[in-house]
A and B are shown apart, each in its own frame.
Chain A
Amino acid sequence: MKRGMIDFWVGLFAVAGIAALLFLSLRVSSQTTLPASDSYELTANFDNVGGLKVRAPVKSAGVLVGRVSSITLDTERYVARVKLSMDSRYHFSKDASAEILTSGLLGEQYIGVTSGADDKMLQAGNNFTITSSAIVLEQLISRVLFNKAETAAEK
Chain B
Amino acid sequence: MLDYLFNAISRFGQPFSNAIIKLGFACRFMLAILRHSPTSLLRFQLTMREIWFAGVLSVLIIAISGLFVGMVLALQGFDTLQRFGATESLGVLVALSLVRELGPVVGALLFASRAGSAITAEIGLMKATEQLAAMEMMAVNPIARVVAPRFWGGVISMPLLAAMFSAMGIFGGYLIGVKLLGLDEGAFWSQMQSAVDFRQDVINGVIKSVVFGIAISLIAVFEGYDAPPTAEGVSGATTRTVVTSSLVILALDFVLTAFMFRGI
Contacts and interface: CB of A to CB of B under 8 A. Distances in A.
Contacts of A19: 167
16 contacts: A10-B48, A10-B56, A13-B55, A17-B55, A18-B160, A19-B167, A20-B160, A20-B166, A24-B166, A24-B170, A27-B193, A28-B99, A28-B193, A29-B198, A29-B202, A53-B263
Given A17-B164, A21-B163, A24-B166, A30 B197 contact: yes
A135 to B, nearest CB: 20
Nearest to B63: A16
A31 interface: yes
A13 B163 CA distance: 12
Nearest to B167: A20
A17 B196 CA distance: 19
A29 to B, nearest CB: 4
Interface residues on B, range: 35 or more
A33 B194 CA distance: 11
Contact of A14 (B160, B194, B197, B205): B160
| Ranked 6 nearest A-B pairs via Cβ | A17-B160, A20-B167, A20-B163, A29-B196, A29-B198, A20-B164
Candidate in A10, A17, A20, A30 with the most chain B CB atoms within 10 angstroms: A20
Given A10-B52, A28-B99, A106-B86, A16 B200 contact: no
A1 B48 CA distance: 12
Contacts of A13: 51-52, 55-56, 59, 157, 160
B99 A24 contact: yes
Given A10-B48, A29-B201, A30-B198, A24 B56 contact: no
A6 B263 contact: no
Contacts of A53: 263-264
Contacts, number: 92
Interface string B195-237: 0111111100110000000000000000000000000000000
Interface in A52-85: 53-55
A3, A9, A33, A106, most chain B CB atoms within 10 A: A9
Nearest to A14: B160
B263 A31 contact: no
B52 A6 contact: yes
A55 B200 CA distance: 11
A25 interface: yes
A7 interface: yes
Nearest to A15: B160
A20 B168 CA distance: 8
B200 A17 contact: no
Contacts of B199: 31, 33
Contact of A25 (B55, B189, B198): B198
A30 B167 contact: no
A24 B202 contact: yes
A33 B202 CA distance: 13
A127 B49 CA distance: 61
B49 A6 contact: yes
B206 A30 contact: no
B198 A31 contact: yes
A33 B59 contact: no
A151 interface: no
A149 B134 CA distance: 92
B3 to A, nearest CB: 60
A142 interface: no
Contacts of A17: 55, 159-161, 163-164
Contacts of B196: 28-30
